[in-house]
Amino acid sequence: MNKSEWIALGALVVSLFSAFLSALSYLVSRSAHNISKQQHKERYKGIVLYLVDAFKWSSEEDFYISFALRFTNEATISNSLQNIELHLEYYDRNKHCGKAKISPSLEVKPINLAEASEMLKIPLEMNSKSAKSGWISFKLPNLFYKDLEIDLYKIVATTTDGRIIAVETHIVNIV
């Protein structure tokens, strides 16, 4: 082999080594990119809402509905709830349907349960990977309790990042 063949062989070895290093670098960067995408997904997961229990009750002339709720922040960053509402779907005696929104009565504690569990406060701040549970009550106008039949109870919460989470039920116990 002459000198030019040795130079060509050396260039071939260097180019193959360079191709091997670039393929290895690609695999490492792709793995790092996949890890980064997974961390990003976990960072911005939302809050999950669970309905634990619900019941209607009365106090003197007022009628209330109370919900035991559990909020779970599945994200790796903190988040909070800025608003909670009760959305009702109802019908009257003539079977006309309607919808209503009711704000929570945060100062009202559910009857016989005030000492057993925590009351939820709005805004509800949640740390990363944490859960909070407690009761929230809504005062029902007398019209709903006497003249209208409520078909669907839907708790709707809005997070600070604008996401809306909801849970609904058709069945509520009466105490």
Kind and range of the H or E element at 28? helix 3-43
The 10 Å Cβ neighbour count of residue 157 is 22
Q: What integer pLDDT is reported at residue 113 of this predicted model?
A: 64
CB atoms within 10 A of CB 171: 6
* Structure tokens given for 61: 């002339």
- Tokens 């925590």 identify what position? 118
Over residues 33-84, the pLDDT tens digits come to 998 888 887 778 889 999 998 988 888 888 899 999 999 998 888 888 999 9
**SS3 of residue 138 by DSSP:** strand
* Chain centre distance of CA 96: 33
The predicted model gives 158-171 an average pLDDT of 91
